[in-house]
């Protein structure tokens, strides 16, 4: 399985994938890394391991969402963001023609994606989200989407936090949830940043490992959304593992992750 990774920050998820490739080089390879910025430590990590790594200039081209305060400004930001990602898609397509196709794209990425990049990798792009996406509001909408889900969960009084890995679609953090990492207890007097770092180690890593292994083994599928029982209350597809429907949240990992391949 050849994996591309879009990165934003420390590279914790990239490190997990690199380790998977080192442990099983005949099965997994991180082949390409790209970022929307120039300063992500993940870019340096990729280069340390001989992986081609592309910095980006997203903010210079698009500005930032936090400064797009009017409807016109937000429309302009979205148009520019789509153009930027379409250019990234074209560059990735050209790279694949020279180097071979990517089987999976993993997002550890702090920008919404629209356009050709999302379309071309549909069904083979997953996102690591540091929030429990099974938490729904009174209208069955996901409550912990977007930025700072750990802080949001703690402000709501949650006693645990966990990572969700989902299949990326054209919604905002609304795709089918494939797996959730083990819940991480919130310790007394801990701040959100420390909690998130603990979550990266204890929930992110097993969640991503399980999902990539399951994807490679071909054990995952989506239920038919047009048939009864094909969707969850939030409107997302039911995920099947070896043909068995999973609850909202997909595979629920505990402290000891279940294997994902034929021996699962």
189 assigned to some structural domain: yes
Domain assignment of residue 260, yes or no: no
Structural domain contains residue 259: no
pLDDT at 112: 87
Contact (CB, 8 A) for 164 and 206: no
Cβ atoms 62, 77 nearer than 8 A: yes
165 domain-assigned: yes
pLDDT at residue 223, as a whole number: 96
For residues 200 and 208, is the Cβ–Cβ distance under 8 A?
no
Query: How many CB atoms are closer than 10 A to CB 263?
Result: 7
pLDDT tens digits along 166-187: 999 989 899 999 999 999 999 9
Which range is least confidently modeled, 187-191, 210-214, 241-245, 260-264?
Answer: 260-264
DSSP 145: -
pLDDT at site 180: 98
Specify the pLDDT at position 259. 41
Closest C-alpha to 233, from 220, 222, 249: 249
Query: Per-residue confidence at 156, pLDDT binned at 50, 70, 90?
Result: very high
Across the chain, what does the average pLDDT equal? Answer: 93
Per the CB < 8 A criterion, the answer to whether 119 and 211 are in contact is: no
pLDDT reading at 260 higher than 60: no
CATH code of residue 70: 3.40.50.170
Q: How many domains does the chain contain in total?
A: 1
pLDDT of 3 higher than 60: yes
Mean pLDDT of 222-237: 94
Q: Report the alpha-carbon angle 33-210-132, nearest 5.
A: 90
Other Cβ atoms less than 10 A from the Cβ of 45: the count is: 19
Q: What is the pLDDT of residues 92-137, one digit of tens each?
A: 999 999 999 999 999 988 888 889 999 999 999 999 999 999 999 9
- 127's enclosing H/E stretch is strand 125-129
The answer to whether the CB of 84 falls within 8 A of the CB of 117 is no
pLDDT of residue 261: 42
* Banded pLDDT at 239 (limits 50, 70, 90): very high
How large a percentage of the chain has pLDDT more than 90? 85
Residues 163 and 182: beta-carbon distance below 8 Å = no
Instruction: Specify if 262 maps to a domain.
Output: no
Strands 29-35 and 52-54: parallel
Mean pLDDT of 9-22: 94
Q: Is residue 194 part of a domain?
A: yes
* 56 occurs within a structural domain: yes
When pLDDT is cut at 50, 70 and 90, the band that residue 74 belongs to is: very high
Q: What is the pLDDT of residue 257?
A: 42
- The model carries a pTM of 0.91
Q: Evaluate whether residue 226 is within a structural domain.
A: yes
Would you state the pLDDT for residue 10? Answer: 85
At 99 the pLDDT is 97
CA distance 28 to 155: 39
pLDDT in tens, 241-259: 999 999 999 999 996 444 4
Q: Write out the residue range of the structural domain in which residue 119 sits.
A: 2-252
């Amino acid at each position: 399985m050849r994996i591309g990774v879009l990165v934003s920050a420390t590279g914790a998820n990239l490190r997990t994938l690199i380790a998977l490739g080192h442990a099983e080089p005949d099965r997994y390879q991180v082949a390409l890394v790209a970022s929307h910025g120039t300063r992500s430590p993940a870019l340096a990590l990729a280069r340390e391991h001989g992986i081609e790594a592309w910095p980006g200039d997203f903010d210079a081209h698009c500005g930032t969402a936090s400064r797009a305060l009017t409807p016109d400004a937000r429309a302009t930001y979205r148009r520019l963001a789509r153009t930027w990602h379409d250019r990234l898609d074209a560059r990735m397509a050209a790279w694949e023609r020279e180097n071979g196709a990517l089987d999976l794209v993993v997002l550890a990425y702090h920008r919404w994606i629209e356009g050709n990049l999302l379309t071309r990798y549909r069904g083979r792009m997953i996102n690591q989200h540091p929030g429990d996406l099974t938490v729904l509001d009174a209208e069955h909408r996901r409550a912990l989407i977007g930025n700072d889900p750990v802080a949001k969960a703690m402000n709501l009084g949650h006693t645990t936090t966990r990572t969700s890995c989902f299949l990326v679609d054209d919604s905002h953090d609304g795709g089918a949830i494939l797996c959730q990492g083990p819940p991480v207890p919130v310790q007394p007097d801990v701040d959100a940043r420390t909690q998130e770092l603990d979550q990266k180690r204890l929930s992110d890593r097993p969640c991503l490992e399980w999902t990539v292994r399951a994807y490679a083994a071909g054990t995952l599928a989506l239920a038919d959304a047009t048939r009864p029982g094909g969707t969850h209350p939030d409107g997302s597809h039911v995920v099947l593992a070896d043909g068995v429907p999973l609850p909202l949240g997909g595979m629920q990992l505990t402290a000891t992750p279940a294997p994902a391949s034929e021996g699962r």
